[in-house]
Amino acid sequence: MNKIKTIFRGKFFFIFAPFIFLWLLRYIIPNYTISSKTPHWAYIPPKSCLGGCGSIDGLIPFVDWTNALIQFLRKYEIFGLFTFRDFTRGIANYVDKFLDFTEAVLHKGFPSYDVGPLPWIFILTLTIILGFYLRGWRLALLGGACFSYLILFSKRGIWELSMKSLAAISVSAPLAALIGLCLGILAVKRKRFANFLWPMLNILQSLPHFSYLILVVIFVGIGTKAGVIATVIFAFPPMARLTILGLQNISQEIKEAGVMAGCTKWQMLFKVEIPAARSPIMLGINQVIMQCLAMIVIAAFIGQPGLGHDLLIRLQGLRLGEAFEIGVAVVLIAITLDRYSQALALKEPERREGNFVKRNPYLCATFFAIIICSILVFLFPFFNEYPKELTVSASVYLDNAIKSFTRSLFVPLGIFRDWMLIYFLMPLKAVFQSMPWTGVILFVGAIGWKLGKMRLALTVMLFVFFIASSGYWVRAMITVYMVFASLVICALIGIPLGIWASKKESRTKIVLNICDIFQTFPSFIYLLPAIMLFQISDVSAIFAIVIYSSIPMIRYTIFGLRGVPQHIIEAAITSGCTQRQLLWKVRMPLAFPEIILGANQTLMFSLFMVMIAGFIGTVDLSQEIFRALSFSDGGKGLIIGLCVAFIGLTADRLLVEWSKQMKLKLGFKN
Amino acid sequence: MNKEAKISCKNIWKLYGEAPEKFLKNTNNNPTTEEIKKNNYIPAVRDASIDVNTGEILVIMGLSGSGKSTLLRCMSKLIEPTHGQVFFEGNDLLKASEKELIDIRRHKMGMVFQHFALLPHRTVLQNVAFPLEVQGQEIQKREERAKDVIKLVGLEGREKYYPRELSGGQQQRVGLARSLAVEPDVWFLDEPFSALDPLIRKEMQNEFLRLQSMLKKTIVFITHDFDEAIRLADRIAIMYEGLIVQVGTPEELITKPATDYVAEFTKDIPRSKLLNAESIMNEKDKKPYENKVNYSDKIEKIASKVLKSESIFSVVDDNKEVIGSLSKKELIKALFAEDKNE
């Protein structure tokens, strides 16, 4: 009897429960394969039993319900005055007013006053001065180089496109930052609101972009303003999160100092709390800007003009050289904005004494730069509008280079691709597709129960049940397979690379810097080399996912290994460990919780990238989302989005809890 | 209530746990240690009653977790006590409105923190002027006042520095200046020198005594360092597990420790430097002897005289009246505390 009890308590049982279940089913149900036309209900969730006339073959017609709700919001007039859609469109029109202004400044000009847009020389000079002010000449150089590229390579209008994109960002980023800040403050001040906000942020951040693009199309329309609104929705959650974190981490004493000085609530907020949480809030702004940049390509799907739009068209036409040129522009802008906003976040106030010019050198420099630039623009038309004759384009050469490169590698790449497909991806896909949904629910439930409380188990089981009953089970499992395959490859690349990099300070620095640069690339960029190398296949999708999402794996491995306390390492060395023993017996076990967190991040990144990879034709959930987008099917888009979000959240809950418990066991705090 | 008391705490309780008010009510506001433990409450302060007299330095002493900081925060209502009353100049703080509280804090209280709690984005001058700024004082007036206080704590010339550019000792000087900027009546210091190196700590204690000799504030000073307490205190309150174990002058604590816990603390203190003749004399014996010592003479000064002589000494007060006697026996008893219990 005791023996049975220990088996039930053991890890073994819980991890293998679903496989035992699978094995038992073979004997109970004869037609267990999914290839049979009507697979048993225990394998593939049955079709709708409620109503049954829904357009989707789900167990529960979530999609129909959501569409009914959307219809209601479109048509029902609140107080008989206006519909919800009128309301959202009203807000969008306000956003449009700001947009008109930034667009006029950056690329349209003010025709009614006969004033053109801001000449390029102004933008270039001011960027350089700002770079100097924020960190020094290296940052200034980066900013200068970025905008010089945009000016010089403007043969196909990259400068105008960039200005269009920047005009949209300069509306969406402040708006998202403001919304995030306000929600964050409210959440810190009102516990109840926080309880509501956290799960909302979790879901918003794990929903694929495309699923709310559809809702934006329905409730706002298309074009730049719709793009801006979609961007804001996508970009505010990290700001809210970092605001909450920042405000919560202010030392108790600083708050008490504020209270003892006799601050009122508002004085507390504006004079003590927000300034004290300045750095995390500024990092939030950095995050917002990066999210806005990631959205410039995605917002192009709903008709926002700019760099993203043209990149997308070039990608669709497989004009890779031109796409590459635009891609470089996007990446340069991303890196520049990232570094500038990071510098802003880390900037400490500086002590300057002396006369006015000495105290405010950058203010004076800006002032003189504006005067000099104005004179230049007035005297020479060259400085007003960079002449088209002097612009260059490398796209033809790039095209040729890419062609000859892929041609020379055609055979080995083809062999590699086919080998991957036949020996790794297809068998893996078969395994995932043969998993019964009942088994998967039991599996996640068992892990949840093993790790934590009943609550965790029930939550993850509910997530999986939602996916199963939504009618997208088979496609969801393809998504899971792609994510899993990428995760395995990422771990195979990321962990050894992390171990290698953590050996020496100099290596760590280089690798982390490269990670930083890669992380600033908007995700769509990764499709470029993938298509170049592997054309359209599962392999190219997974290639794109892997380069995008192995970054956190590497990063967390390095942090985990380098974070092992020095005294423990010294103790191990004095105990006589060899380098190998030190790694496997001391550093790796201690870094493991951190590596798990890295795997979790990698998983989230992959999930995002899988959705984008749908653009090059995979057959998982992302394809359905793209379909929903072209039919403006809001309900379908949202439900599939939720399926994706729940895949992510299930893994996230389990992995984070696992890591937390391991850290507790090792005695690490937080 | 003591009329002289600036702050008067009456039966302060602070419990952490679920619905502590209800629990206290059910136990008649006097739960036993077992009851508290059994119901999973964490007692921070238990039934603390103490008066802070005008113009005195009251040091609250205890190890970490003894509830001394919590008691201090109850006095300024940074923390709401679970039960009890706090009178500030005769007014019940716990019944005061938010507005009244802000007013009291703006004009009558100043507080110094263990980790300085300076605002990192403000210069020294702006930090010191901060309490005046939130009152709505004009910029010129408040900066003038701030400059005066900065001078007072010896940081002249550093007005434009940011906190990160200063050493720990200097930062705490800014903390002192900020708390003094509003000319408070009551000065709260929460382990102000604990985060500093021992040498700097000594220097800051001297600085503190210098300031107090000029300003004559009513002071509540928290520390876990008994040497510091003895150096600075007029009276010391010792706390242990949320209870105030004993309140008294340093001499009283050493000569008449209320519990073994207090005795343990006072064991290592060099008595000869601290105790005077009055605190160790035999009060019953008021016979006039030939040899006399003044009541306020420290033992250090009279020890060799008394120990060399076989006779008994009379202890006299300022009017030359005999108030007690002192012999070898009392002296030895006082100097070697361990003998007391035998």
- Crossing angle for the helix pair A538-562 and A473-502, to the nearest 10 degrees: 40
Q: What is the mean pLDDT of chain B?
A: 87
The CB density around residue A611, as the number of other CB atoms within 10 Å, is 27
Query: Quick check: is A108 in a domain?
Result: yes
How far A259 CA sits from the closest chain B CA (Å)?
8
**Is this complex scored with an ipTM above 0.85?**
no
Minimum Cα–Cα distance from A250: chain B residue? B117
CB atoms A353 and B162 under 8 Å: no
For the stretch A85-120, pLDDT in tens is 888 888 888 888 899 899 888 888 888 887 888 888
For the stretch A600-621, pLDDT in tens is 999 999 998 888 888 877 778 8
pLDDT of residue A271: 92
pLDDT band at A52 (very low <50, low <70, confident <90, very high): very low
Q: Which range has the worst mean pLDDT, A4-18, A204-218, A544-558, B1-15?
A: A4-18
Nearest to A162 by CA among A326, A27, A316: A326
B120 in Cβ contact with B109 (< 8 Å): no
Which among A256, A262, A349 is the nearest to B106, CB-wise? A262
Residue A87 maps to which CATH number? 1.10.3720.10
pLDDT of residue A55: 47
Q: Are residues A388 and A501 in the same domain?
A: no
CB atoms B117 and A348 under 8 Å: no
Q: Which of B93, B102, B114, B189 to mutate to test the interface with A (most CBs of A within 10 A)?
A: B102
Query: Quick check: is A20 in a domain?
Result: no
Q: Are residues B101 and B248 in the same domain?
A: yes
Q: Are residues B264 and B278 in the same domain?
A: no
Q: Are residues B261 and B289 in the same domain?
A: no
Q: Are residues A483 and A563 in the same domain?
A: yes
CB atoms B162 and A271 under 8 Å: no
Q: Are residues B192 and B335 in the same domain?
A: no
Upper half-sphere CA count for residue A555 (Cβ side, 13 Å): 19
Identify any residues that bridge with B325 across adjacent strands, giving them in sequence order: B282, B314
Query: Quick check: is B142 in a domain?
Result: no
Query: Quick check: is B209 in a domain?
Result: no
Q: Are residues B225 and B335 in the same domain?
A: no
Q: Which range has the worst mean pLDDT, A141-150, A228-237, A276-285, A631-640?
A: A631-640
pLDDT of residue A8: 54
For the residues A114-139, what does the mean pLDDT come to?
A: 89
Minimum Cα–Cα distance from B186: chain A residue? A260
pLDDT of residue A7: 54
**What would the two tokens of residue A349 be?**
């106030």
Single-letter residue type at B176: L
Q: Are residues B307 and B237 in the same domain?
A: no
Which among A256, A271, A278 is the nearest to B134, CB-wise? A271
d(CA B6, CA A465): 65
pLDDT of residue A53: 41
Which among B113, B135, B162 is the nearest to A257, CB-wise? B113
Query: Quick check: is A186 in a domain?
Result: yes
The pLDDT > 90 percentage for chain A reads: 31
pLDDT of residue A228: 93
Which one of A345, A373, A402 terminates a domain? Answer: A402
Query: Quick check: is A413 in a domain?
Result: no
Q: Are residues B191 and B318 in the same domain?
A: no
Q: Which of A260, A264, A282 to mutate to test the interface with B (most CBs of B within 10 A)?
A: A260
pLDDT of residue A126: 92
How far A201 CA sits from the closest chain B CA (Å)?
29
Domains of chain A: total: 2
Q: Which domain holds residue B280?
A: 271-341
Q: Are residues A494 and A389 in the same domain?
A: no
The pLDDT > 70 percentage for chain A reads: 91
Residue B280 maps to which CATH number? 3.90.1280.20
Query: Quick check: is B255 in a domain?
Result: yes
For the residues A306-321, what does the mean pLDDT come to?
A: 86
d(CA B253, CA B229): 11
**What would the two tokens of residue B291 be?**
């040899």
Residue B80 maps to which CATH number? 3.40.50.300
The contacts of residue B77 (CB under 8 Å, 6+ apart) are B86, B93, B94, B96, B101
State which of A392-401, B14-23, B27-36, B309-318 shows the largest mean pLDDT. B14-23
Q: Which of B121, B161, B176 to mutate to test the interface with A (most CBs of A within 10 A)?
A: B121
CB atoms B78 and A262 under 8 Å: no
Q: Are residues A507 and A377 in the same domain?
A: no
Upper half-sphere CA count for residue A107 (Cβ side, 13 Å): 17
Query: Quick check: is A46 in a domain?
Result: no
The contacts of residue A504 (CB under 8 Å, 6+ apart) are none
Backbone torsions φ then ψ of B87, nearest 5 degrees? -105, 125
Which among A260, A348, A351 is the nearest to B105, CB-wise? A260
Q: Which domain holds residue A260?
A: 82-402
Query: Quick check: is B296 in a domain?
Result: yes
Q: Are residues B283 and B320 in the same domain?
A: yes
**Which helix H or strand E contains A232, and what residues bound it?**
helix A224-248
**A571-A572-A577-A579 Cα dihedral, nearest 10 degrees:** -110
Burial of A644 per CB tally in 10 Å (0-12, 13-18, 19+): buried
Chain A residues touching B100 at Cβ < 8 A: none
Q: Are residues A540 and A394 in the same domain?
A: no
Q: Is the pLDDT of residue A58 over 70?
A: no
Domains of chain B: total: 2
Query: Quick check: is B120 in a domain?
Result: no
Q: Which of B77, B113, B133 to mutate to test the interface with A (most CBs of A within 10 A)?
A: B113
Q: What's the helix, strand, coil split of chain B in %, to 5?
A: 40, 25, 35
Q: Which residue has the higher pLDDT, A404 or A6?
A: A404
Query: Quick check: is A543 in a domain?
Result: yes
For the stretch A70-90, pLDDT in tens is 888 888 777 777 788 888 888
CB atoms A263 and B102 under 8 Å: yes
pLDDT of residue A23: 63
Query: Quick check: is B315 in a domain?
Result: yes
Q: Are residues A386 and A480 in the same domain?
A: no
Q: Are residues B331 and B193 in the same domain?
A: no
Q: Are residues B292 and B327 in the same domain?
A: yes
Which one of A402, A418, A444 terminates a domain? Answer: A402
CB atoms B117 and A278 under 8 Å: no
Query: Quick check: is A257 in a domain?
Result: yes
Which one of B234, B269, B304 terminates a domain? Answer: B269
Q: Are residues B323 and B238 in the same domain?
A: no
CA B148, B153, B156, B161 torsion-angle sign = negative
Which one of B233, B250, B269 terminates a domain? Answer: B269
pLDDT band at B147 (very low <50, low <70, confident <90, very high): very high
Q: Is the pLDDT of residue A35 over 60?
A: no
Q: Which residue has the higher pLDDT, A410 or A247?
A: A247
Query: Quick check: is A640 in a domain?
Result: yes
Q: Are residues B254 and B325 in the same domain?
A: no
Query: Quick check: is B191 in a domain?
Result: yes
Q: What is the mean pLDDT of chain A?
A: 85
The contacts of residue B334 (CB under 8 Å, 6+ apart) are B255, B271, B275, B279, B280, B299
Q: Are residues A285 and A140 in the same domain?
A: yes
pLDDT band at B339 (very low <50, low <70, confident <90, very high): very low
Which one of B269, B298, B333 terminates a domain? Answer: B269
CB atoms A251 and B115 under 8 Å: yes
pLDDT of residue A172: 94
Which among B102, B117, B165 is the nearest to A262, CB-wise? B102
d(CA A583, CA A573): 11
Chain B residues touching A267 at Cβ < 8 A: 134
| A-proximal residues of B, 215-254, CB under 8 Å | none
CA A261, A267, A268, A274 torsion-angle sign = negative
| A-proximal residues of B, 255-314, CB under 8 Å | none
Minimum Cα–Cα distance from B118: chain A residue? A254
Which one of A354, A377, A402 terminates a domain? Answer: A402
